[in-house]
Amino acid sequence: MTSAFRTPRERAPSLSRALWVLAVCAGLGSGSLAMAQGKVYVSSEKDNKLYVFDSQGERLTAIDVCKRPRHMMFNASRTQLYVCCGDSNQLGVVDTASGKMTGTITLGDSPEIFDLSPDGKTVYVSIEDENVMAAYDLASKKQLFEVKTGGEPEGVLVTPDGKFAYVTSEVANVVHYIDLGQKKVLKNIKVGKRPRRFVLAEGGTELWVSNELDATVSVVDTKDHSVKATVKFAVKGMREADITPVGMTLSPDGKTMWVGLGKANHVAEVDVATKKAGRHVLVGKRAWGLTMHPDGKMLYVTNGLSDDMTLVDTAGAKAVKTVAVGRVPHSVLVAP
């Protein structure tokens, strides 16, 4: 027993041992939220598992889920983690306290990326092989409606007010702006080639869109839905065709966007204000999935073709550790 664990008892000698143990357990066990805090979750497409690490990259456990797990999100309380499974056409529901999948929701054919409504009651999913964005009620597990999109929809982002959604079409090279109340596309925003993912920046006034086959990110003004800027990437010694941006994540202070450059095996740091790419960090092969620790000090990058995850020190812009994460890691998620 460590001295740190003894100290509360020494400060409260009047408590019986039984009462003291209960008090300590109550203090530490503040529900499933505490169980999820600080953990890093990585979805492994070929292993049908989520691998769980601590914030320094030490592996803790693995969770069996549905087939070909891809994108992940927590519910608001972080008591549950949702994972989209592309080969079993399901949304898996994982209890973060027990570390077990406790249920599934049947989706369409080859679901990929999703977002939750602000109230946490509805999930909006890109159904790749059916060319739709579909909405499902999480409580009843029933489909509510679907909206037709261009070919191979992927990225999904629901606006903070819950009234609209953005969806990328990889084939049509557009972002669909969808009215969720009317259940229809209001506008098709032309961006770069094969748009993939989204991040809102500048207080929600900018929508950043990664374009895999353009080596660019399009920055869309969310007021008039025009492309206001384009961020172009270049890596010394590499062809433009090998620079394939997909995953993005915004720093906690909103000043820096990190972009995974895919087959270029690098991540790039972009200044949000100037829209200029700065430092690059060499990571693993096909760097797509990105997320950042809530304190902004560590970037986690999944490398789909080297089957590992790279931890990047953001201040120094350098890789500090690489850990194995199963076969074909897709997404990474960090619990605050």
CA 68/CA 287 separation, integer angstroms = 18
Residue 183's pLDDT is: 98
Smallest Cα–Cα separation from 8: which of 20, 18, 16, 25?
20
Split into its structural domains, the chain has a count of: 1
Strand order in the sheet with 174-179: 153-158, 164-169, 174-179, 184-190
User: How many angstroms separate the Cα of 289 from the Cα of each of 54, 82, 168, 194, 327?
Assistant: 17, 16, 17, 17, 14
Strand pairing category for 308-313 and 132-137 = unpaired
Q: Where does residue 182 rank: exposed (0-12), middle (13-18), buried (19+ CB within 10 A)?
A: exposed
- Answer yes or no: is 227 within a domain: yes
Residue 112 contacts by C-beta under 8 Å, 6 or more apart in sequence?
Answer: 70, 71, 84, 86, 125, 126, 127, 128, 153, 154
pLDDT along the chain (336 residues), means of 10: 31 32 34 57 98 96 98 96 98 97 98 98 98 98 98 98 98 98 98 98 98 98 98 95 97 98 98 97 97 96 98 98 97 93
The values of phi and psi at residue 162, to 5°, are: 75, 5
Taking each helix axis as running N to C, give the angle between helix 17-28 and helix 3-11, from 0 to 180 degrees, rounded to the nearest 10.
Answer: 120
Residue 36's pLDDT is: 55
Q: What is the CATH number of the domain that holds 226?
A: 2.130.10.10
- Answer yes or no: is 247 within a domain: yes
- Answer yes or no: is 230 within a domain: yes
CA 201/CA 231 separation, integer angstroms = 14
- Answer yes or no: is 132 within a domain: no
Residue 336's pLDDT is: 79
- Answer yes or no: is 161 within a domain: no
Report the predicted TM-score, pTM, of the whole model to 2 decimal places: 0.88
Coil vs helix vs strand at 289:
strand
- Answer yes or no: is 178 within a domain: no
Residue 37's pLDDT is: 61
The values of phi and psi at residue 26, to 5°, are: -65, -40
- Answer yes or no: is 284 within a domain: yes
Other CB atoms within a 10 A radius of the CB of residue 12 amount to: 12
- Helix, strand, coil in percent for the chain, rounding step 5: 10, 50, 40
Are 288 and 260 a contacting pair, CB within 8 Å? yes
CA 298/CA 295 separation, integer angstroms = 8
Taking the CA atoms of 28, 34, 36 and 39 in sequence, report the sign of the dihedral they define: negative
- Answer yes or no: is 75 within a domain: no
Give the structural domain span for 209.
194-336
Distance between terminal CA atoms of the chain? 28
Residue 38's pLDDT is: 83
